[in-house]
Amino acid sequence: MKLPSKCKWRVAVAVFGIIGLTSCTTEVRHRVLCVFFEGVDETNAVPAMFTENISPTNAGGQTVATSSSRLSAAPVIHYHKPYDERKCTACHVSRQSQQLRAEGGDLCLECHKKLIGDAKYVHPPVDDGKCLLCHSPHESVQLFLLKRQGRAVCLDCHKMPKLLKVKEHTTMGEAACESCHDPHCSNLKKLLRPPPPPP
């Protein structure tokens, strides 16, 4: 069957478009698709959720010298190292695949082996390989790629009224949970951190 010249042109544009999109960076692909489907390039717009907790540090935790006007305009994004270095195959079957090389926490523990070690108590989500309950796999405005800031990430599962009934929590104020508890594992019950050494 012979295609009309108008159809050949459309097929050629589609083929070159697909090739172009699969070979470009994630940011460029996102920008092109936004313009194509929505007609507007809003990739430089900062979502409201990102303007709440702006930290003047880069992915390595180093302080970034910036003006206050820049900080109010855009948040600092923290990137997962393989994602930042475009090493997609560190986690995925191929650069174009969303299929992961391993399931759940097994994949994370390939690189983060020392996270649990031989600890006596392990936080159940960590033990079940549900790292993505608390962490984003690619990027976050929070340190350690957390999905929420401070104790907010803990309160997604641990409800505040129940916690406030615990004697030690009545004076905790706005303190982050990890100031007393290790979010991954501990040799002490309730995932408590070891007390600081005496002065």
Q: Quick: pLDDT tens for 33-82.
A: 655 555 554 444 444 444 344 444 444 444 444 444 444 567 889 999 99
pLDDT value, residue 53: 41
pTM of the model: 0.59
Q: Quick: pLDDT tens for 134-181.
A: 999 999 999 999 998 888 888 888 887 777 777 777 667 677 888 889
Compute CA 171 distance to the chain's CA centroid, rounded to the nearest angstrom.
31
Q: Quick: pLDDT tens for 80-120.
A: 999 999 999 999 998 888 899 998 888 998 898 888 888 89
CA angle 39, 31, 57 (to 5 degrees): 135
Residue 128 DSSP symbol = T
CB crowding 179-196: b at 16 or more within 10 Å, else e? eebbbbbbeeeebeeeee
